[in-house]
Chain A
């Protein structure tokens, strides 16, 4: 069935370092890959997304890469700041609004 694996489950970095979170999906029909950030006690919020016709997308300190052949996509955060500390979820979807989420990565950025 449809599945999204996400690694690592926890990630601790020093402020200013980079953080990378990786996801693998199983459904070859997936063509939409959003990333959500969920701060403690708050709702998930979209931070960046990529569609299957694009290999990389950047938005300031955040970038996402997609390898459709390998069914891998990754989130890269550069120059991390304490406010980046949160749980990050990757997801995969197709042409309808059904998203399959990964199990999340708890990112801690230490000052």
Chain B
């Protein structure tokens, strides 16, 4: 069974630009969560999608948005990039069902550098 994949693996952008990251979950997994990882801050929850609906949201500004497609693939978008957005962006998928908890499997991440 293929694992969670993320594209691209590396991105370099300049301030003010926007970026779109993609995540393909494990086949059969319906939930996709996104996290921002920075040194010293650990993993911070961005949002979670289930059946094409945003089910949970973290405390990030509106410049961070996402969506999920009918095949469970997910994208996240960051507009008007700032230097502080430089980070490793991880997505995780789980089988999930409503009112149940399942192991989250992480992708390799997209390393975003904002210059």
Task: Tell me if A97 is interfacial: C-beta within 8 Å of chain B.
Answer: yes
Chain A's interface size range is 20 to 34
CB neighbours (8 Å) of A31 from chain B are: 101
The interface residues of chain A lying within 8 Å CB-to-CB of B42 are 6, 89, 101-104
Contacts of B109 in A (CB 8 A): 43
Question: How many B residues touch the partner, as a band?
Answer: 20 to 34
| Interfacial chain A residues near B102, Cβ < 8 Å | 97
* A77 CB to nearest chain B CB (Å): 19
Distance in angstroms between the alpha carbons of A45 and B103 in the assembled complex: 10
A1-B59, A44-B90 as given contacts; A97 in contact with B44, CB under 8 Å: no
Q: Mark B75-109, 1 if CB is under 8 A from A, else 0.
A: 00000000000000010001010011111111111
Within 8 A of B (CB), among A36-82: 36, 42-46, 49, 51
Q: Which of A43, A49, A97, A98 contacts B90 (CB 8 A)?
A: A43
B-side contacts of A46, CB under 8 Å:
103-105
Chain B residues within an 8 Å CB radius of A100 = 45
Chain B, Cβ-Cβ closest to A100: B45
What separation, in Å, do the CA atoms of A35 and B88 have in the docked complex? Answer: 19
Question: Complex Cα distance A46/B31, Å?
Answer: 17
Residue B40 is within 8 A (CB to CB) of chain A in the complex: yes
Contact A49:B50 (CB < 8 A) given known A43-B109, A97-B96, A101-B42: no
Q: List 19 A-B contacts (CB under 8 A).
A: A6-B42, A44-B106, A45-B106, A91-B43, A93-B101, A96-B48, A96-B55, A96-B56, A96-B96, A97-B55, A97-B96, A98-B33, A98-B55, A98-B58, A99-B33, A99-B43, A101-B45, A103-B41, A103-B42
Using a CB–CB distance below 8 Å, which chain B residues touch chain A?
31, 33, 35, 40-45, 48, 50, 55-56, 58-59, 90, 94, 96, 99-109
Q: A32-B101, A104-B42 provided; 7 other pairs, C-beta below 8 A?
A: A31-B101, A36-B106, A95-B101, A97-B55, A97-B56, A98-B33, A98-B55
